[in-house]
């Protein structure tokens, strides 16, 4: 059973900058309040403050946070630590980064009960198994004996929810818990989260930039921009009759419109030619087959200025395909031709010009950017390596790149840790653009971005196609996004290419059943969509 949450006049500062400005709201037990807004709007900063926590360099300068009868901000440090994991629990965006790879799942899920002395080990494990059942996890009796790397991303996200809920918290904070999941897994996780919150009548705050997801989860929505509340209202009211202009902008950005495709002329040259490609991981046998074969017999062609989308669930081989093209993983069979020249299998074997012409933008900018180097230094390296720039020409080009991805010049002197998730991803894209490549391999580049920034990045990519003729292999689990930006879609499952759909056929069917499943699994921007899906599934069975 949850407890009422009441926030009054919350302000959070970082030096002279105000990150959250005089914010007030309340949530009742059994209700879900969504905090939405673009990167840097103060969503996560606000959510962390509900636990009495402010990130390094920040401070909670004013206000009151009350959970039931507890005044969180009046507690001392030891009392706040006792509060976290028991009275209030936090479910982070990246489950993979939240688990210790060297300990079993059960050890980590029951840890809050150990820290807070809530119950004995046997009782805690029985409670964990019950939570595994509630969260629809496979093999609930034995999954706890596994290690984090032995379960899928969606399962790990639900296991993190079990860890958060095992202490029966009065307030649950969910911070972008489905952002990195593919669409079919996202539905399972959303369904499990929503059922557990409803059945336990928990008080919940759901941080997200995905309005379609929020529409299925939240009773009320609070819209943030620049740390200030722009609008708060019932979810249905926000979705159908928003009052604030910024809310209207968010809703418009959440409905993907087709971007200019950078039309490929009939005589455009073939840029990338993937022939019968197979690849995997682990030791190879006498026939050269790896222990874990991920890709099998993939054929794909991409022309200059073209964008091809690659979709499929987690584990379908999308990222492995990009890594093989980039030279980060050597294929065990087949070949890759780039501009009619066969590419060597590994990075070390490719020449400098081939390295420059093919760039990759990784999904998780947090792990792709060196945390100890400034943004200026990160962008300088490819400019020095590929272009030989130095001095003022180097600094000028860095400024141009920041402008290109719509980042302020001031970020050049910052470390990645001082940027929001969306800002880090734009740095990630700017680094790839620094090489002036012919082909950019985009691995889920907008999945961690808010709708406004994501739309801006997609528009930027379309603009680069028109102006520079750059080509994209666009990997994503978001079919709506892929349909908005790509000329063709390659559908993958279990390491195989199932079908390829041209833009002209996006709205025409019938398509492969798996393509149809992916299309049905993308949340729609309206309330009741998930309930409809559940009813249809129940009728089908």
Question: Using one digit for the tens of pLDDT, what is the confidence trace for 405-414?
Answer: 888 999 999 9
pLDDT at 266 over 60: no
pLDDT at 257 over 80: no
pLDDT band (50, 70, 90) for residue 461: confident
**Nearest to 109, CA basis, from 132, 92, 87:** 132
pLDDT band (50, 70, 90) for residue 256: low
Determine how many CB atoms are found less than 10 A away from the CB of residue 348. Answer: 8
**What pLDDT, in 10s, does the model give residues 184-206?**
778 877 888 888 888 888 899 99
Q: Who wins on pLDDT, 333 or 459?
A: 333
pLDDT at 227 over 70: yes
CA distances from 344 to 273, 286, 337, 340, 351 (A): 13, 21, 9, 13, 9
pTM to 2 decimals? 0.77
According to the model, what pLDDT value does residue 123 have? 95
Radius of gyration of the chain measured on its C-alpha atoms? 24
Q: Which residues contact 296 (CB under 8 A, 6 or more apart)?
A: 278, 495, 496
Q: Are 332 and 287 in contact (CB under 8 A)?
A: no
pLDDT at 264 over 60: no
pLDDT at 329 over 70: yes
pLDDT at 422 over 80: no
Mean pLDDT of the chain: 89
Q: According to DSSP H, which parts of 101-222 are helical?
A: 105-109, 111-115, 121-134, 153-165, 183-199, 211-217
Report the length, in residues, of the chain. 541
DSSP state of 265: -
Edge-to-edge strands of the sheet including 5-14? 17-27, 5-14, 59-67, 70-71
Phi, psi of 259, rounded to the nearest 5 degrees = -85, 155
For tokens 């559908």, the residue is 491
Q: Which residues contact 518 (CB under 8 A, 6 or more apart)?
A: 183, 184, 311, 312, 313, 479, 491
| Mean pLDDT along residues 457-481 | 84
List of domains in the chain: 98-151+159-168 (no CATH), 270-520 (3.40.50.300)
Q: Which residues contact 48 (CB under 8 A, 6 or more apart)?
A: 54, 55, 90
Percent of the chain clearing pLDDT 90 (strictly above): 57
CA distances from 256 to 37, 134, 459 (A): 17, 34, 11
pLDDT at 342 over 60: yes
pLDDT at 152 over 70: yes
**Nearest to 445, CA basis, from 463, 465, 422:** 422
**What pLDDT, in 10s, does the model give residues 158-189?**
899 899 989 989 999 999 888 767 777 788 77
Helix, strand, coil % over all residues of the chain, rounded to 5: 40, 25, 35
According to the model, what pLDDT value does residue 260 have? 52
Q: Are 483 and 311 in contact (CB under 8 A)?
A: no
Q: Which residues contact 512 (CB under 8 A, 6 or more apart)?
A: 491, 498, 499
- DSSP codes joined into one string, 270-298: EEEEEEEEEEEEEEE-TTS-EEEEEEEEE
Helix (H, G, I), strand (E, B) or coil at 486: coil
**What pLDDT, in 10s, does the model give residues 74-89?**
999 999 999 998 899 9
Task: Check whether the bond before 510 is cis (ω within 30° of 0).
Answer: yes
pLDDT band (50, 70, 90) for residue 61: very high
According to the model, what pLDDT value does residue 285 have? 83
Helix (H, G, I), strand (E, B) or coil at 143: helix
| Mean pLDDT along residues 436-451 | 84
**Nearest to 530, CA basis, from 195, 250, 220:** 195
| Mean pLDDT along residues 285-309 | 89
pLDDT band (50, 70, 90) for residue 279: very high
Phi, psi of 233, rounded to the nearest 5 degrees = -170, 175
Cα 184 to chain center, whole Å?
15
Biggest CA pair distance of the chain: 71
* Torsion from C-alpha of 196, 202, 206, 211, nearest 10 degrees: 60
| Mean pLDDT along residues 115-119 | 91
- Of the CA atoms within 13 Å of residue 269, those in its CB half-sphere come to 9
pLDDT band (50, 70, 90) for residue 313: confident
According to the model, what pLDDT value does residue 149 have? 85
d(CA 1, CA 126): 20
Cα 223 to chain center, whole Å?
20
Determine how many CB atoms are found less than 10 A away from the CB of residue 368. Answer: 18
């Amino acid at each position: 059973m949850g407890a009422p949450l009441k926030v009054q006049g919350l302000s959070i500062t970082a030096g002279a900058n105000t990150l959250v400005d005089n914010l007030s709201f309340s949530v009742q037990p059994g209700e879900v309040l969504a905090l939405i807004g673009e990167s840097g709007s103060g969503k996560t900063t606000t959510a962390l403050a509900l636990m009495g926590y402010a990130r390094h360099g920040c401070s909670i300068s004013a206000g009151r946070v009350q959970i039931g009868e507890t005044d969180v901000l009046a507690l001392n440090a030891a009392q706040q630590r006792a509060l976290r994991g028991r009275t209030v629990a936090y479910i982070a965006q990246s489950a993979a980064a939240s688990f210790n790879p060297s300990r079993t799942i059960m050890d980590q899920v029951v840890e809050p009960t150990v820290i807070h002395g809530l119950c004995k080990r046997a009782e805690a494990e029985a409670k964990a198994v019950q939570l595994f059942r509630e969260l629809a996890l496979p093999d609930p009796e034995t999954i706890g004996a596994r290690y984090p790397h032995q379960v899928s991303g969606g399962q790990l996200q639900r296991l993190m929810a079990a860890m958060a809920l095992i202490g029966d918290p009065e307030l649950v904070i969910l911070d972008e818990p489905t952002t990195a999941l593919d669409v079919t897994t996202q539905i399972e996780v959303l369904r499990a989260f929503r059922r557990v919150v409803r059945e336990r009548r928990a008080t919940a705050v759901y941080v997200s930039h995905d309005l379609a997801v929020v529409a299925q989860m939240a009773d009320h929505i609070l819209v943030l921009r620049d740390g200030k509340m722009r609008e708060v209202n019932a979810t249905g009211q926000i979705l159908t009759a928003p009052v604030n202009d910024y809310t209207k902008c968010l809703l418009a950005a959440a409905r993907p419109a087709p971007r200019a495709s950078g039309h490929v002329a009939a005589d455009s040259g073939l840029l990338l030619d993937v022939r019968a490609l197979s690849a995997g991981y682990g030791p190879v046998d006498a026939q050269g087959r790896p222990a874990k074969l991920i890709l099998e017999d993939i054929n794909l062609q991409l022309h200059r200025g073209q964008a091809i989308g690659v979709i499929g669930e987690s584990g379908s081989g999308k990222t492995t395909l990009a890594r093989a093209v980039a030279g980060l993983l050597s294929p065990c069979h087949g070949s890759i031709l780039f501009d009619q020249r066969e590419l060597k299998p590994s990075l070390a074997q490719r020449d400098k010009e081939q390295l420059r012409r093919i760039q990759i933008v990784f999904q998780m900018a947090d792990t792709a950017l060196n945390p100890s180097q400034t943004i200026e230094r990160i962008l300088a390296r490819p400019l020095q390596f590929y272009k030989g720039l130095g001095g003022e020409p180097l600094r000028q080009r860095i400024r141009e790149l920041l402008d290109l991805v719509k980042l302020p010049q001031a970020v050049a002197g910052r470390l990645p840790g001082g940027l929001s998730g969306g800002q880090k991803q734009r740095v990630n894209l700017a680094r790839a653009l620094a090489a002036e490549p012919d082909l950019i391999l985009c691995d889920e580049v907008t999945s961690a971005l808010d709708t406004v920034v994501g739309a801006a990045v997609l528009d930027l990519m379309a603009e680069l196609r028109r102006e520079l003729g750059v080509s994209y292999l666009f990997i994503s689990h978001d079919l709506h996004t892929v349909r908005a930006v790509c000329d063709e879609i390659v559908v993958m499952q279990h390491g195989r290419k199932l079908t390829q759909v041209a833009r002209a056929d996006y709205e025409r069917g019938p398509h492969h059943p798996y393509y149809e499943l992916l299309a049905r699994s993308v949340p729609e921007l309206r309330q009741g969509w998930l309930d409809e899906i559940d009813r249809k599934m129940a009728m089908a069975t």
